């Protein structure tokens, strides 16, 4: 469950929010609640939350100031405002400051569901991005594709990150995607702009460069580790992708 900090100065509204089933339906729970931004900041100093759902106009520290403080303190959380029609200018200011979104009062469960689903998608995407192997991201960008440019691409980036430096086949990855091999291959080419074979070769050579850079492995050992049929074939692929032989790369990149 994603943790929510509810900030609302109207106790009746806090009660209404707490009784809405949409929170748990969307994978969230109200883990703490308070009546103003000042108290919210004290709570945020003691524990972390995935989402702050806050009113805009409150005593002591209002929603806008709370958001500003959250950003200044570098607190990693999404902020959603609940606002009235006459508070639109405040809500707009909040979006400029980096609020995730705002929802108009009176808050209806279906409206809240839409916002929570989008917050959840954002949180899941952030988690996936944090899991990505930097070398995998570099390879994606080498072929001109951002790792977060779509569900298929991001799922591929996560798979490659989890299996970086290990041996895997297109059949393995197609199974991970729950697709047959041929259809997966076509989807991969369409989404990535290169074939699976080419991409996996670039990824293998990226890892080979790391191993060569350490100086701890001979070329034939790296070739075996990466599953190449012979050292000559490994050298051929390495040169095609980097423009250098493995020995030439090692010589030019000694620690």
Mean pLDDT of the chain: 87
Q: If you average pLDDT over residues 44-69, what whole number do you get?
A: 88
- Domains along the chain with CATH numbers: 2-130 (3.40.50.2300), 134-252 (1.10.10.60)
pLDDT digits (tens, 9 = 90+) for 117-150: 999 888 877 767 777 888 898 889 888 988 877 7
145-168 pLDDT tens trace:
888 777 788 889 989 998 888 888
Does residue 105 surpass a pLDDT of 70?
A: yes
> pLDDT digit string (tens) for 170-212?
999 999 888 899 999 998 999 899 999 999 999 999 999 988 8
Reduce the secondary structure of the chain to three states and give it as a string.
Answer: CEEEEEECCCHHHHHHHHCCCHHHHCCEEEEEEECCHHHHHHHHCCCCCCEEEEECCCCCCCHHHHHHHHHHCCCCCEEEEEECHHHHHHHHHHHHHCCCEEEECCCCHHHHHHHHHHHHHHHHHHHHHHHCCHHHHHHHHHCCCCCCCCHHHHHHHHHHHHCCCCCCCHHHHHHHHCCCHHHHHHHHHHHHCCCHHHHHHHHHHHHHHHHHHHCCCCHHHHHHHCCCCCHHHHHHHHHHHHCCCHHHHHHHCCC
85 pLDDT tier (thresholds 50, 70, 90): low
Kindly indicate the confidence band of residue 99, based on its pLDDT and cuts at 50, 70 and 90: confident
């Amino acid at each position: 469950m994603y943790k929510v900090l509810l900030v609302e100065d109207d106790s009746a509204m806090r009660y209404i929010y707490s009784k809405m089933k949409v929170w748990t339906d969307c994978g969230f729970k109200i883990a703490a609640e308070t009546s103003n931004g000042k108290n919210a900041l004290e709570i945020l100093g003691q524990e972390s939350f995935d989402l702050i759902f806050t009113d805009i106009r409150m005593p002591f520290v209002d929603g806008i100031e709370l958001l500003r403080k959250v950003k200044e303190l570098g607190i990693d959380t999404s902020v959603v405002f609940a606002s009235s029609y006459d508070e639109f200018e405040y809500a707009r200011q909040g979006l400029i400051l980096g609020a995730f979104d705002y929802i108009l009062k009176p808050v209806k469960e279906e409206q809240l569901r839409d916002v929570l689903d989008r917050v959840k998608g954002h949180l899941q995407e952030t988690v996936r991005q944090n899991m990505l192997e930097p070398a995998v991201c570099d390879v994606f960008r080498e072929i001109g594709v951002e790792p977060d440019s779509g569900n298929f691409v991001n799922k591929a980036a996560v798979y490659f990150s989890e299996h970086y430096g290990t041996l895997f086949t297109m059949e393995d990855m197609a199974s991970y995607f729950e697709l047959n091999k041929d259809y997966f291959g076509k989807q991969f080419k369409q989404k990535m702009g290169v074939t699976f074979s080419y991409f996996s070769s670039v990824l293998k050579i990226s890892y080979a460069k790391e191993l060569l850079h350490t100086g701890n492995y001979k070329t034939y050992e790296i070739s075996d580790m990466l599953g190449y049929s012979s050292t000559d074939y490994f050298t051929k692929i390495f040169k095609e992708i980097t423009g250098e032989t493995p020995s030439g790369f090692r010589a030019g990149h000694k620690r």
